[in-house]
């Protein structure tokens, strides 16, 4: 895939320049100077040759076949050149030129025309507004970056050219190996998904690394990522998270930044490893590119000092890794050569006077324990330790085992050389223990992901048709909200249990309804102007008698008349008072890029403050439902604390999937939430106490 980009036999540079410092010069120079062996055709009508290479006045004059066109001319001329590419059967182009969507309305129009033109001409292109592309294996450096990375297994694509430069600059001194470097620019044609698919196929790429600000088609992105991440790790840094970050992103490349929760969910559901900083992106890439995956969560830490060991242990505690205590035989063996004051448990502290041989013995001994899936070696540069010899010892052991070893030799000057040695043997060294732990944890998560069975989506047909008339009626009446009775009808169409309820216009009707339903009852105001009923004192619970119902009716209605004289009061809803259980919230929202998402959280009035909620993109598999519930911090409350009975977690899972089905059935749902959904004891199910729906569009 995209073979003419990555392995072209001939390249034309349209807009090649002989003036050093100009992009058209730098690109040509980069193509020539890093050993590219194919034909190069600089196009420039003004000069006979550049950098010793014969130029052509026009692309049309080139006698040979051209696999790849690199376009560096002003934006107004780009369309014409793409037309020429078409007539010369050149099917691949990199458009470096800026001045398109990122520059405003006119540029955006030009970009639209470019897309149409390229389609007509049969040309696929990277860019515009990009830095170019590098393939270290075919030795193509069709970019204006300063330098050529070493050959290696990391395939990197980036929406930001500047980030490409920063990553390259960081990679060069340590000779961190890359297979490809692709600056995507505005992604007008070739998209993240095209690149991910190409890198998945590329034999030189072991790890796929990306920086994105937004994606075009969220669903497609997820499908492709799910497929690719089962083959190779995909690590992505995504910016534009905070609202100010999102603004910066849209002025940057004009991308529509998706909302944070949606991206987080999409990444999780498609197996993408998310990096949150450039540093993390690198840290993960180095671990994945060089070390085998841990086959389980158990890790051991070997350290020559207490503090860093504790920091690493703390970090493990916050991650999904486990510090397994070593076997008795292992401890016994450690005792034979470690000083008696050493710590034989995990972290194994071999003390500040440890030399490289003590490190070597300790590591070898700990690795005899089969239940250890990965190891982290920490080193503080004490006066006695031979840092260089220890690096060699660790590297040798790492090369002889199929379990991952990451190191954190701390400090700067005294460990710099050792860190380089380690990396040259494929052992990434991290400045701080927490970074090593975080990289190990990311590898463990990936191990879990690739071993997961494919998702099973269970459909729930048959509910939809009962709800169709409700949606149709609201649409006919041009309403974007459901009335209480419509909410009731839709929820019961989908099989949700609801409290018994009746509408009452007068206090007499309210008393009759309460009698009918049975005390105690709940009374709620019914008014088209009121969305949050309890906020305005419109909900009374636990009404136990005729007198209480009459009084509540009088108070609720007068209160609303006093505070909102313009509000229409239709009457009140009398509801069966449901007792026991825990309040949770679940709902549907719509993201502009990924579509419907399902939300789950512990409910009640604090939900908006605590924000302890989880999201998944629809459709939800049972596993998605299972995981999102457990992702919330308050999950243990559902399990029951201090002798409480466990809540019906299975019923919650089922309800989340039903809600997902509802979202699939009715794309016109903009937002819906059930708050609270009361969960009872295990086996007793859930009751939808209150809900609202916002609908629109279709
Ligand atoms: P709103 O969200 O509009 O303020 P709700 O109908 O959710 O109104 O009622 C507010 C709170 O009152 C609920 O969160 C719940 O704690 C309690 N409540 C309401 N209806 C019932 C009921 N039928 N049984 C038990 N508790 C209820
Ligand atoms: Mg409510």
Residue 696 CA to ligand 1 centre (angstroms): 26
Which residues keep their CB under 5 angstroms from ion ligand 2?
675, 690
Tokens 């604390």 appear where?
A: 641
Q: Is the beta carbon of 575 within 6 A of some atom in ligand 1?
A: yes
Contact 73, 15 (CB under 8 A): yes
Rounded Cα distance, 50 and 61, in Å: 17
Mean pLDDT, rounded, for 668-697? 93
For the CA of 530, the nearest ligand: 1
Other CB atoms closer than 10 Å to residue 162's CB: what's the count? Answer: 12
Dihedral of the alpha carbons of 645, 646, 647, 650, in degrees to the nearest 10:
-150
pLDDT at 252: 33
pLDDT of residue 241: 54
State residue 681's pLDDT score: 94
DSSP string, 605-645: TTHHHH--EEEEESSPPHHHHHHHHHHSTTHHHHH-STTPP
Nearest ligand, CA 578 = 1
- The label of the residue with tokens 């009404």 reads 543
Cα separations (Å) of 14 from 35, 46, 110, 627?
Answer: 20, 12, 19, 52
* Closest C-alpha to ligand 1, atom 19: 689
Rounded to 5 degrees, what are φ and ψ at 107? -60, -40
220-226 mean pLDDT? 97
Q: Does residue 542 have its Cβ closer than 6 Å to ligand 1? A: no
* Ligand nearest to the backbone CA of 678: 1
pLDDT, position 174: 85
As a whole-number percent, the residues of the chain with pLDDT over 70 amount to 97
* Average pLDDT estimate for 167-176: 89
SS3 category, 40:
strand
pLDDT over 80 (residue 228): yes
Q: Rounded to whole angstroms, what are the CA distances from 69 to 9, 85, 89?
A: 11, 8, 11
Which atom of ligand 1 lies at the shortest distance from residue 501's CA?
Answer: 23
Q: Which ligand is nearest to the CA of 541?
A: 1
Contact predicate 303/348, CB 8 Å: yes
The angle subtended at Cα 669 by Cα 667 and Cα 670, nearest 5°, is 115
Determine the pLDDT at residue 698: 60
User: Which pLDDT value is given to residue 260?
Assistant: 80
Q: What is the Cβ-side half-sphere exposure of residue 609, based on CA atoms within 13 angstroms?
A: 3
Q: Under 8 Å CB-to-CB from 569, ≥6 apart: which residues?
A: 525, 526, 527, 557, 560, 561
Question: What pTM does this model have?
Answer: 0.91
Pocket test for ligand 1, best of 559, 576, 689 (most atoms within 8 A of CB): 689
Q: Which residues contact 289 (CB under 8 A, 6 or more apart)?
A: 152, 153, 154, 177, 206, 207
- For the Cβ of 455 lying below 6 angstroms from any atom of ligand 1, the answer is no
Which residues have CB under 8 Å from 611's CB, separation 6+?
Answer: 601
Whether the link from the prior residue into 128 is cis, omega within 30° of 0, is: yes
Ligand 2 centre distance from Cα of residue 548 (Å): 22
Q: Supply the residue whose CA is at minimum distance from atom 15 of ligand 1.
A: 676
Q: Residue 301: what pLDDT?
A: 98
- Which range is least confidently modeled, 169-183, 242-256, 378-392, 529-543? 242-256
CA distance to 1, 20, 62, 600, 686, per residue, from 586 (Å): 43, 61, 63, 4, 12
Cα dihedral 506, 511, 515, 520 in deg (nearest 10): 110
pLDDT over 60 at 150, yes or no: yes
The residue whose CA is least distant from atom 6 of ligand 1 is 690
pLDDT for the residue numbered 657: 97
Kindly state the tokens that stand for 433.
């223990």
Residue corresponding to tokens 């389980």: 296
- Spell out the residues 6+ positions from residue 478 whose beta carbon is closer than 8 angstroms to its own: none
Of 98, 102, 99, nearest to 255 by C-alpha is 102
Burial of residue 54 (CB within 10 Å: 0-12, 13-18, 19+) is: exposed
Q: Given a cut of 70, is residue 257 above it in pLDDT?
A: no
Residue 81: C-alpha distances to residues 13, 85, 513 (Å): 11, 6, 78
Query: Is 232's pLDDT higher than 80?
Result: yes
Lookup result for tokens 């730098």: 26
Closest CA to 612 of 261, 271, 275, 277: 261
Lowest mean pLDDT among 30-44, 167-181, 294-308: 167-181
Buried b (16+ CB within 10 A) or exposed e, 315-324: bbeebebbbb
Residue among 125, 144, 148 nearest 27 (CA): 144
Stretch among 392-406, 434-448, 590-604 having the lowest mean pLDDT: 590-604
Question: How would residue 259 be classed by pLDDT, with cut points 50, 70 and 90?
Answer: low
Answer for the pair 299, 322: CB distance below 8 angstroms, yes or no: yes
Cβ atoms of 84 and 60 within 8 Å: the answer is: yes
- pLDDT given at position 253: 27
Residue 386 confidence (pLDDT): 94
Whether 581 is in the pocket of ligand 1, judged by its Cβ within 6 Å, is no
pLDDT single digits (tens) 53-103: 999 999 999 999 999 999 999 999 999 999 999 999 999 999 999 999 999
- The CA distance from 349 to 342, in Å, is 6
Query: CA 174 to CA 172: how far, in whole Å?
Result: 6
33-56: per-residue pLDDT in tens?
Answer: 999 999 999 999 999 999 999 999
The whole-number pLDDT of residue 610 equals 76
Take residue 97 and report the two structure tokens written for it: 């030129």
* 281 and 237 Cβ atoms separated by less than 8 Å: yes
In tens, the pLDDT along 602-661 reads 877 677 777 788 999 999 999 999 999 999 998 999 998 888 899 999 999 999 999 999
Residues 6+ apart with CB under 8 A from 239: 211, 212, 213, 245, 248, 249
pLDDT class of 580 with cuts at 50, 70, 90: confident
For residues 303 and 279, the answer to whether their CB atoms sit within 8 Å is no
Three-state secondary structure string covering 131-179: CEEEECCCCEEEECCCCCCEEEEEEEEECCHHHHHHHHHHHCCCCCEEE
- The CA distance from 302 to 342, in Å, is 11
Q: Give the β-pairing of 374-379 and 298-303.
A: parallel
Phi, psi of 361 (to 5 degrees): -65, -45
Mean pLDDT of the chain: 93
Distance between CA 574 and CA 523 in Å, rounded? 5
DSSP per residue, 496-511:
-----EEEESSHHHHH
Query: 421 in helix, strand or coil?
Result: helix
Q: How much is the pLDDT for 244?
A: 47
Angle of helix 622-631 relative to helix 649-665, nearest 10 degrees, comes to: 120
Per-residue model confidence (pLDDT) at position 338: 96
Question: Which residue has 């463990």 as its token pair?
Answer: 444
Q: What is the mean pLDDT of residues 537-547?
A: 96
Interval between CA 674 and ligand 1 midpoint (Å): 11
- Please compute Rg for the chain using Cα positions: 32
Cα 41 to ligand 2 centre (Å):
69
Shortest-distance Cα residue to atom 22 of ligand 1: 577
Average pLDDT over residues 325-349: 94
In this predicted model, what pLDDT tens digit does every residue of 426-442 receive, in sequence order?
A: 999 999 999 999 999 99
Pocket flag, ligand 1, residue 596 (CB < 6 Å): no
């Amino acid at each position: 895939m995209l073979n003419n980009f990555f392995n072209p036999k001939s390249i034309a540079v349209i807009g090649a320049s002989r003036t050093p410092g100009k992009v058209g010069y730098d690109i040509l120079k980069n193509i020539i100077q890093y050993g590219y062996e194919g034909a190069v055709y600089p196009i420039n009508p003004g000069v006979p040759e550049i950098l010793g290479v014969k130029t052509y006045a026009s692309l049309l004059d080139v006698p040979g076949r051209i696999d790849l066109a690199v376009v560096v001319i002003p934006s107004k001329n780009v369309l014409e050149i793409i037309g020429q590419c078409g007539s010369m059967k050149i099917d691949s182009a990199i458009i470096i030129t800026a001045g398109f969507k990122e520059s405003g309305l006119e540029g955006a129009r030009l970009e639209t025309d470019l897309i149409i033109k390229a389609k007509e001409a049969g040309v696929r292109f990277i860019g515009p507004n990009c830095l170019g592309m590098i393939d270290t294996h075919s030795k193509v450096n069709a970019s204006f970056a300063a330098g050529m990375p070493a050959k290696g297994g990391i395939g990197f694509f980036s929406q930001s050219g500047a980030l490409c430069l920063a990553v390259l600059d960081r990679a060069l001194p340590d000779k961190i190996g890359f297979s490809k470097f692709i600056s995507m620019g505005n992604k007008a044609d070739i998209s993240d998904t095209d690149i991910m698919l190409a890198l998945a196929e590329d034999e030189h790429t072991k790890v796929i690394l990306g920086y994105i600000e937004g994606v075009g088609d969220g669903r497609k992105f997820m499908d492709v990522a799910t497929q690719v991440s089962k083959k190779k790790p995909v690590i992505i840094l995504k910016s534009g998270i905070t609202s100010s970050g999102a603004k910066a992103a849209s002025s940057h490349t004009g991308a529509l930044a998706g909302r944070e929760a949606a991206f987080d969910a999409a990444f999780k559901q498609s197996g993408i490893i998310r990096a949150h900083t450039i540093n993390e992106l690198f840290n993960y890439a180095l671990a994945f590119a060089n070390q085998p995956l841990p086959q389980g969560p158990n890790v051991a830490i070997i350290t020559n000092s207490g503090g860093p060991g504790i920091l690493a242990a703390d970090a493990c505690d916050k991650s999904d890794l486990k510090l397994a205590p070593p076997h008795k035989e292992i401890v016994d063996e450690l005792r034979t050569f470690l000083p008696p004051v050493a710590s034989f448990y995990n972290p194994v502290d071999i003390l500040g006077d440890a030399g490289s041989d003590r490190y070597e013995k300790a590591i070898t001994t700990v690795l005899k324990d089969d239940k250890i899936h990965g190891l982290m070696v920490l080193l503080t540069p004490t006066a006695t330790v031979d840092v260089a010899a220890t690096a060699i010892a660790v590297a040798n052991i790492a090369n002889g085992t199929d379990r991952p070893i990451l190191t954190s030799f701390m400090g700067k000057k005294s460990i710099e050389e050792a860190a380089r040695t380690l990396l040259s043997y494929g052992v990434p060294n991290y400045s701080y223990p927490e970074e090593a732990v975080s990289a190990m944890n990311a590898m463990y998560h990936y191990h879990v992901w690739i071993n997961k069975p494919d998702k099973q989506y269970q459909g729930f047909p048959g509910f939809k048709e009962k709800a169709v008339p409700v949606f149709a009626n609201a649409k006919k009446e041009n309403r974007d909200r459901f009335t209480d009775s419509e909410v009731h009808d839709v929820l019961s169409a989908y099989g949700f249990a609801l409290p018994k309820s009746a509408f009452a216009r007068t206090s007499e009707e309210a008393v009759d309804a309460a009698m009918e339903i049975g005390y105690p009852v709940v009374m709620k105001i019914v008014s088209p102007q009121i969305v949050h009923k309890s906020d305005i004192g419109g909900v009374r619970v636990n009404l136990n008698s005729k007198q209480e119902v009459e009084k509540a009716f009088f108070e609720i209605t007068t209160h609303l008349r006093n505070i909102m004289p313009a509000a229409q009061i239709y009457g009140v809803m009398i509801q069966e008072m449901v007792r026991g259980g825990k309040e949770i919230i679940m709902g549907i929202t719509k993201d502009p890029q990924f579509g419907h998402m399902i939300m789950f959280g512990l409910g009640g009035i604090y939900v908006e403050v605590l924000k302890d909620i989880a999201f998944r993109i629809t459709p939800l598999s049972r596993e998605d439902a299972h995981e999102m519930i457990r992702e919330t911090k308050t999950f243990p409350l559902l399990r029951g604390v201090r002798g409480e009975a466990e809540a019906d977690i299975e019923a919650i899972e089922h309800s989340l999937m039903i809600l997902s089905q509802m979202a699939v059935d009715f794309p016109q749902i903009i937002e819906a939430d059930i708050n609270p959904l009361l969960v009872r004891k295990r086996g007793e199910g859930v009751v939808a106490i209150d809900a609202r729906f916002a609908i629109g569009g279709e």
